[in-house]
Amino acid sequence: MKRIRIGVLASGGGTNLQAIIDACERGEIDGDVVVVISNMPDAFALERARKHRIDAFSFPHQGVSREQHEADVIGCLEQHKVDLVCLAGYLRMLTPVFINKYAGRLMNTHPALLPSFGGKGMHGLNVHQAVLDYGCKVSGCTIHFVTLEVDGGPIILQKSVPVQEGDTAETLQERVLKEEHKLYPRAVQLFAQGKLKQDGRRILILET
């Protein structure tokens, strides 16, 4: 089976990027991260890529139109012939042009059980604080395909974690992130194996 070529977009530390790279290197994903792109020149995600001899590029968004910025990113992804684009803490809203171009092969992770606690402003610690403020007994993470609706794309995998007495946004984030680091590579491998089939809003996981 052909190994898939993965491009990752990240704005920060890139711990989910690291989880995907590690899974590829352990043979748990039939593919390789071939390029990492950030809109932040000092993003640690770029360092992670370079440590693994993966091409790393920065396209700063300041002073550039959204269309031009995305055109640069798309050009880089196309140059590397990527099969799948993974968002790993990429804090830029993508335009319909980008989303439609990679429809069905653009994945994201969200640190809550969608459709709860998604949408505008729901990222990072904001999500976990919102979960705690609401009094939820469980939270978790969601891997989904990206569509034009923010955090509204078809769900690929979800994993729940308990909310514990005395949790802070930080302690809950840590518990969720541990599961994210396992779940995201699993979703990427299902894509690599051709086991994901969309049926309306549902993503079916095919048995082989």
pLDDT of residue 208 exceeding 70: no
CATH number of residue 166's parent domain: 3.40.50.170
Q: What is the pLDDT of residues 172-204, one digit of tens each?
A: 999 999 999 999 999 999 999 999 999 999 999
Confirm if 11 and 90 have CB atoms less than 8 A apart. yes
Residue 151's DSSP bridge partners are none
Does 111 sit behind a cis peptide bond, omega within 30 degrees of 0 on the bond before it?
no
Domain span at residue 74 reads 1-102
**Which residues form the catalytic set?**
110
Instruction: Give CA–CA dist 201/181, Å, rounded.
Output: 24
Return mean pLDDT, the chain.
96
Q: How many other β-carbons are positioned within 10 Å of the β-carbon of residue 41?
A: 9
Residues 74 and 37 in one domain: yes
The per-residue pLDDT for 126 is 96
Residues 50 and 24 in one domain: yes
Residues 171 and 92 in one domain: no
Q: Say what the pTM is.
A: 0.96
More confident residue, 1 or 100: 100
Confirm if 114 and 153 have CB atoms less than 8 A apart. no
Residues 66 and 92 in one domain: yes
Average pLDDT in the 10-25 region?
A: 97
Residues 83 and 4 in one domain: yes
The per-residue pLDDT for 203 is 97
**Residue 183, Cβ density class (10 Å: 0-12 exposed, 13-18 middle, ≥19 buried):** buried
pLDDT of residue 71 exceeding 90: yes
Count of structural domains, the chain: 2
